[in-house]
């Protein structure tokens, strides 16, 4: 059988986590279920379990990140791995070393797992194809392409608050065009059986043919938010203002910023999510961000359990061990 998905081995066991696209529902559920078992670990006296003892996790961040890198680091340390953080933007690559040479050198230092953030779409795929069997790659965000652990922690958050996926109406709001988070969310939501996924954005911030991903497109918050159970806000990157995408952040806030008035259009028990970092007063009003329906800080906490789950599953048995 030809293995079309580089994330899975021939026995369909997860080897790398590169994107939520094409990942079967049982694997997504396995990650969410495993994350649930890790939730209690942080409440113990000893907030560590020995599953990755003796393993080395290299955080390769070619792009700045605070939250994602920190939660990956905490997750790996809670699993007892040794964590090495490399701020590549200011090291080897600035001296001219290629991406794969960097990876080869780090592999020679006996890395077991790479967590990769890169501004180029496909960087994590490239590394996953290049590394020796038994070395695992986790995509922590590549260009506009994918950010699977963010999408998984969002799914975990939704499941914690809403329990089921099959009866939900979910809206993703904001800069869909440039968002790797949105792409990964859409794939995960549709795979997990959410019957109605909406995207709400101005035309300039939507990819062409976005409806092919199985989403309903809205340009107006007043229509798009009606009877929604889950609102997934996206960050509006300030640099977009400099292009021809948007007139001004004030204008954006007027039409697409989430205010208490707009939130009232959704279901009364709707939850508000945001992957961070937030631009208050641009895509979200402070009153909403800090309000009773916001689950933005729990998302960050759940991110640790979800990343522990992904690492623990990847570090499990190898095909040579007979599965």
Partner 1 sequence: MSLPDAEALYTTLFQKILPDSRKYAALVGIHTGGAWLAKRLHRDLVATHTGNSPEFVQQSGMLSVSFHRDDFDKIGLHAQKKSSEIPFPVDGAHILLIDDVLQSGRTIRAAINELFDYGRPASISLAVLVDRGNRELPICAQYIGATLSLPNEKTLELNHDDHGKFYLSMENKNGADTNHRSAFT
Instruction: State the residues that interact with partner 1 by CB under 8 A.
Output: 29-30, 33-34, 36-41, 44-46, 48-51, 312-313, 315-317, 321
Q: Specify the residue, 39 or 241, whose C-beta has the smaller distance to partner 1.
A: 39
CA distances from residue 71 to 9, 66, 149 in whole angstroms, order as listed:
27, 8, 11
| Min CB(320)–partner 1 separation in Å | 11
Q: Specify the residue, 11 or 94, whose C-beta has the smaller distance to partner 1.
A: 11
| Min CB(314)–partner 1 separation in Å | 9
Q: CB-based burial of residue 176 (10 Å sphere; 0-12 exposed, 13-18 middle, 19+ buried)?
A: buried
Nearest to 170 by CA among 200, 140, 208: 200
| Min CB(36)–partner 1 separation in Å | 6
Structure tokens at 9: 């081995």
Phi/psi for 198 (5° steps) reads -110, 150
Q: Specify the residue, 231 or 312, whose C-beta has the smaller distance to partner 1.
A: 312
| Min CB(56)–partner 1 separation in Å | 15
Phi/psi for 49 (5° steps) reads -125, 150
Q: Specify the residue, 164 or 220, whose C-beta has the smaller distance to partner 1.
A: 164
Q: Specify the residue, 116 or 315, whose C-beta has the smaller distance to partner 1.
A: 315
| Min CB(25)–partner 1 separation in Å | 13
Q: Under the phi-then-psi rule, with left for phi > 0, alpha for psi from -120 to 50, and beta for the rest, what region is 302?
A: alpha
| Min CB(49)–partner 1 separation in Å | 4
- Bridge-based pairing of strands 56-61 and 113-118 is parallel
Q: Specify the residue, 32 or 124, whose C-beta has the smaller distance to partner 1.
A: 32
Q: For residues 116 and 127, is the Cβ–Cβ distance under 8 A?
A: yes
Q: Which helix (H) or strand (E) holds 305?
A: helix 296-314
């Amino acid at each position: 059988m030809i293995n079309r998905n580089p994330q899975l081995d021939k026995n369909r066991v997860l080897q790398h986590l590169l994107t939520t696209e094409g990942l079967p529902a049982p694997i997504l559920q396995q990650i969410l279920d495993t994350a649930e078992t890790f939730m209690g670990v942080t409440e113990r006296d000893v907030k560590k379990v020995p599953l990755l003892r003796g393993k080395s996790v290299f955080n390769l961040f070619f792009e700045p990140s605070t939250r994602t890198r920190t939660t990956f680091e905490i997750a790996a340390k809670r699993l007892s791995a040794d964590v090495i953080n490399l701020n590549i933007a200011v090291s080897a690559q600035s001296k001219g070393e290629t991406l794969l040479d960097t990876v080869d050198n780090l592999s020679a230092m006996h890395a077991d797992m790479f967590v990769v953030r890169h501004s180029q779409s496909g960087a994590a795929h490239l590394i996953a194809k290049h590394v020796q069997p038994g070395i695992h790659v986790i995509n922590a965000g590549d260009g506009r392409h994918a950010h699977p652990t963010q999408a998984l922690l969002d799914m975990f958050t939704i499941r914690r608050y809403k329990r089921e996926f099959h009866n939900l109406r979910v809206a993703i709001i904001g800069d869909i065009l440039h968002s790797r988070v949105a792409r990964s969310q859409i794939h995960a939501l549709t795979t997990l059986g959410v019957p109605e996924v909406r995207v709400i954005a101005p035309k300039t911030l939507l990819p062409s043919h976005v409806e092919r991903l199985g989403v309903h497109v809205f340009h107006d918050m007043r229509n798009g938010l009606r009877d929604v159970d889950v609102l997934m806000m996206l960050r509006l990157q300030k640099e977009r203002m400099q292009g021809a995408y948007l007139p001004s952040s004030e204008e954006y806030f007027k039409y697409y910023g989430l205010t208490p008035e707009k939130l009232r259009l959704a279901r009364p028990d709707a939850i508000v999510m945001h992957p961070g970092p937030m631009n208050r007063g641009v895509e979200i009003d402070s009153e909403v961000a800090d309000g009773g329906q916001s689950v933005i800080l729990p998302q960050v906490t759940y991110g640790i359990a979800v990343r522990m789950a992904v690492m623990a599953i990847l570090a499990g048995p190898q095909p040579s061990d007979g599965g």
